[in-house]
Amino acid sequence: MTAYQQGDVAAFAELVARHEKPLWNFLRRFVRDPSTAEDLLQETFMRVVKGAGEWKASSKFSTWLYTIGRNLCVDHARRATHRKAVSLDGQSGAHAEEDAPRLHEQLSGADPGGERRALDRELAERLDRAIAALPELQREVFVMRELLDLPFAEIALAVGASEPTVKSRMRYALERLRSELGALHEDRTSVEVES
């Protein structure tokens, strides 16, 4: 970032290459929509360009970047509560999941690993839903810690809370996820024992 502040455009390309994917994953988990996450990703990097002079070399670039991304997500969430728009691209209502394949349709009869792959897919889907259902403050801490592997001190700076508060939010998020995913874990264990 220091090189970019001094006019090295290639340094900005390096920053994007290094941070684009993890930042997009964070934004997608936060807003739960890939196309919105893509828009917010572009806006985040635009804010980096516009605010390059504001960044101080004494702070970590990643903390500053995720703070910008988080603030854009919060702004987006506030705007979304005021206008509940239905996507024109997707189905809605009772027909939304009508065409989705059922779990028994995804199983491969002759393949002994078919049931396990189906359970893996189900686990991934339930985990995504469980993370999406977390309260916003818990979800952002969980995503920053578990998916981005940021230390609690950096998360605290990014979200503007104390480190003990961030740790508490993480604990509550983990408790909710454990209770939400407990039944699936028991089902999975019984399948592994039978195999």
Residue 194 has pLDDT above 60, yes or no: no
Average model confidence (pLDDT) across the chain: 79
According to CATH, the topology of domain 113-195 is Arc Repressor Mutant, subunit A (1.10.10)
Specify the pLDDT at position 18. 93
Specify the pLDDT at position 39. 94
Write out pLDDT tens, residues 19-40: 999 999 889 988 888 999 999 9
Place of tokens 């009772």: 94
CATH 1.10.1740.10 assigned to domain 1-83? The reply is yes
Specify the pLDDT at position 44. 95
Specify the pLDDT at position 98. 47
Report residue 105 as tokens.
Answer: 């349709």
Residue 106 has pLDDT above 90, yes or no: no
Place of tokens 């399948």: 191
Print burial letters for 63-101: b (CB count within 10 Å at least 16), e (below 16): bbbbbbbbebbeebeeeeeeeeeeeeeeeeeeeeeeeee
Give the residue, 20 or 129, on which the prediction is more confident: 20
Residue 178 has pLDDT above 50, yes or no: yes
Q: Is the pTM of this model over 0.85?
A: no
Amino acid at position 166, single letter: V
pLDDT-based confidence at 103, cuts 50/70/90?
A: very low
Counting residues of the chain whose pLDDT is more than 70, the rounded percentage is 74
For Cα atoms 146, 147, 148, give the angle at the middle one, nearest 5 degrees.
100
In DSSP notation, 114-154 reads: HHHHHHHHHHHHHHHHHHHHS-HHHHHHHIIIIIS---HHH
Q: What is the average per-residue pLDDT within 160-189?
A: 83
pLDDT-based confidence at 48, cuts 50/70/90?
A: very high
Specify the pLDDT at position 57. 84
Strands (E), 37-176: none
Give the separation between CA 37 and CA 27, rounded to whole angstroms.
Answer: 5
Could you state, in order of their start, the residue ranges of all structural domains in the chain? 1-83, 113-195
